[in-house]
Amino acid sequence: MKAILSRDFLALILSVAVVGLGLGATLPLTALALTQAGYGTGIVGLMTAMQAGGGLAVAPFASRVAARGGARETIVGTVIVAALSTIAMQFTVDLWLWAVLRFLCGAALMLLFTIGEAWVTQLADDTTRGRVVAIYATNFTLFQMMGPLLVSAIGGLPSMRFAICGAIFLLALPALASIRGTPHALASEEGEHGDWRHVLPRMPALVIGTGFFALFDTLALSLMPLFAMSHGIGEETGVLFASAILLGDTTMQFPIGWLADRIGRARVHAGAGVVVVLLLPLLPWAVAHPWICWPLLFVTGAAAGSVYTLSIVACGERFRGPTLVSATAIIGASWSGASFGGPIVAGALMQRVGADALIGVLTAAAGAFLVAVWWERRASLALGRD
């Protein structure tokens, strides 16, 4: 477990955690400010889409940017861009400028998380990678969950609130400055070619698994309370459905990472998908039985979160150097695409078919992940025979 104890690892996860806090505050603060200004959900959705669009636009170039600029230098640059684009929102109310600033912030954060996740996987060896990535993911999630609490504290300071959020990003710079060096595999063009077109065919299950969890995470926060209320649950209790899911996701990633290190990443990865597919369809029935419902939400959140965490672990096992950066960029693009389009599809289906359509969408996405796992396994066996 040397990677967990290393100064570089601690500095890296601290800096990413600070960014998580800034991101967790900036998104709801943007929605709050727009709502207070009298804009509807359409404009709020547009600003969210612009941030996702920035990430999608930069994803194909992440490997080249990291190779040319250096991993640490690029991360420092992305932190500064995210900070300045957020601070700039304090000094303008022009929606077109806000859209551009959200786009720039999304592009910067995509690069940051792409390089950060690739870096973390390379700081660990194959025997500890599950636990190391789990610590990284848990740490980020915890700080991101604190973002809305920060918004509640600064939301009443309209003359300072975006400046405060932007300044939070800058707090990551001292930790980044303490990092001694970049792993050689990320600092050079060593290894296979990093073109995403060569990498994507080698990771369909990882892409679909990430897309599933992005969809799950987004819908749990936005539409799961509506599902609960459609079954007669009060508004305050319905909101706690998302909290139970996030609690399972946050607290169980390290134990699941430990299990993956012990009995095999691929086995636990597929098993997590099976748990989701088996448990999610029970939720409409379990809502009426609290003693079953709350544990079910907790376990489902843990399993869904591990699908994503172990996708990052698998990237570290399969790829090195520029191909690893490209793989994590593809993971990020999958997240952006699913979190952008998923709520639109799920919301429309819930309106036309009923609230239980939410469960159908999530179960179908988890099923698609299992199909991709099966396809990868079959392709691997076929190559072995050849």
| Phi and psi, residue 189, nearest 5° | -95, 25
CB 194 within 8 A of CB 325: yes
Domains, the chain, ordered by start: 1-181 (1.20.1250.20), 191-386 (1.20.1250.20)
Per-residue pLDDT of the chain (386 residues; tens, 9 = 90+): 454 447 778 888 888 888 888 888 887 788 778 878 888 766 776 787 788 788 888 877 877 887 787 778 888 999 999 999 999 999 988 899 999 999 999 899 888 888 888 788 777 777 777 888 888 888 887 887 787 778 778 867 788 889 999 999 999 999 888 877 665 555 544 445 556 677 777 888 999 999 999 888 878 866 787 788 888 888 677 777 877 888 888 889 889 988 988 888 889 999 999 999 999 999 999 998 889 999 999 999 999 999 998 998 888 788 777 788 788 888 888 887 887 777 778 878 887 888 898 899 999 999 999 999 999 888 777 655 44
Query: What pLDDT digit, counting tens, does each position of 236-272 carry?
Result: 777 778 778 888 888 898 899 889 888 888 899 999 9
Q: What is the signed CA dihedral for 149, 250, 171, 98, rounded to 10 degrees?
A: -60
Measured distance CA(226)–CA(245) in Å, rounded:
15
Place of tokens 């086995």: 267
Instruction: Count Cα neighbours of 287 within 13 Å in the Cβ-side half-sphere.
Output: 23
pLDDT at position 325: 78
Q: What is the predicted pLDDT for the residue at 190? A: 45
Q: Is the pTM of this model over 0.85?
A: no
Q: How far apart are CA 312 and CA 124, in angstroms?
A: 12
The single residue listed with the structure tokens 């796992």 is: 373
Tokens of 76: 């420092």
Triad 271, 277, 279: Cα angle to 5°: 100
Instruction: Return the half-sphere exposure (C-beta side, CA atoms, 13 A cut-off) of residue 150.
Output: 25
